[in-house]
Each structure stands twice: as C-alpha cells, then as structure tokens.
Structure 1
Amino acid sequence: MVDGKPTASIFVRDSGEGVPDAFRNQIFQRFAQADSSDTRSQGGTGLGLAITRELITVMDGEVGFESLPGQGATFWIRLPIANNNL
C-alpha cells in the first residue's frame, strides 16, 4: 500500500554483482554510476534510475531496491491503483 491505497507492484531482478554498499545512497541520483571509470564493462549515463524515480514520484508511487553484494539486485516500483469511481 502507498498512503493507505491499494497498489500494483513490479519487480525486476538480476543476477549481476549487486549494488556496492558505498553506492546505495547515491543510486537514484542523476549521473550516478557505481563504476565511473573509462574501462567499465557496461555503458550508460547514470540517468535511468533518476528518471524512473522522478516519474514514479509524480505518479504518487514508490521505487526502491534490495541487493546483497555479489548476489544481484531486485528493483521494485509500487503505484497506487486508480479509483474507477470517478
């Protein structure tokens, strides 16, 4: 539930390296990358999760993740279910 309203949830799991403890507080910030070196194996600008958080927040939802280093990560969003009694 979000603010006492029923919700729909979406979960995305991966089996990668997980989110490093030192990066957990920055993961939803713009341009944040756990590995910002020139030799990293994955490309990207570090905007995807920041944009996701902005969109979900505007829709009165929540976004978050759970991760253990070396064991992948599970990202989730929860959105309130629309009231059809308008």
Structure 2
Amino acid sequence: MVVEVVSRTNSLTDIRDKLHDYPRMGVPLYVVVDPRKDKKTVTVHSDPSAGPDGIRFRKAVPYAFGDTVIAGRWTLDTSSLKSYPADW
C-alpha cells in the first residue's frame, strides 16, 4: 500500500500521474489524502487489473475527513486530519 498526501503545489502528480504508475508497478492499494481546503478527502484506489485502457486501479472509494477509512486490511481514523492553511 502507498499512502500519499497531495502536494499543495503539484497535485496533478499525485492525483493523475501516480494513479496510472502505481498499478503498473504492482501496488495493490493507493490511498490519496487531499488536504486542500476545497477537497478534504481521502480516496482509496484498489483492484489493479488489465483492461482496454491498460493496467489501472478499477475501484476508487472516496471518504471525507472525519470518516473511518477502510484500505485493505487497515482502518484509518481521519478525524484529526488537517487541511492546508488558507494562506498557503
């Protein structure tokens, strides 16, 4: 499993690029924590498999900050996660 916090300045790398790279590397779970003020989400990407568009994660489950996140055999408490400050 890979867990990453979305970069404030380069969010597309985590949200788009790595989302396509990790399943091809054999990573079974990719958890993306997005603390930007307008998002505040945790998304669990799973079930990598081949399809007409190549090897991709086939399942994505979104959670809000404060939810209990299920990622494979792990449970993540997100109640104390913080968003990026407004002045960043």
Please indicate, yes or no, whether the TM-score normalized by the shorter chain is above 0.5.
Answer: no
TM-score (normalised: structure 1)? 0.26
Identify which of structures 1 and 2 has the higher relative contact order when contacts are C-alpha pairs closer than 8 Å and 6+ apart: 1
| Structure whose CA Rg is larger | 1
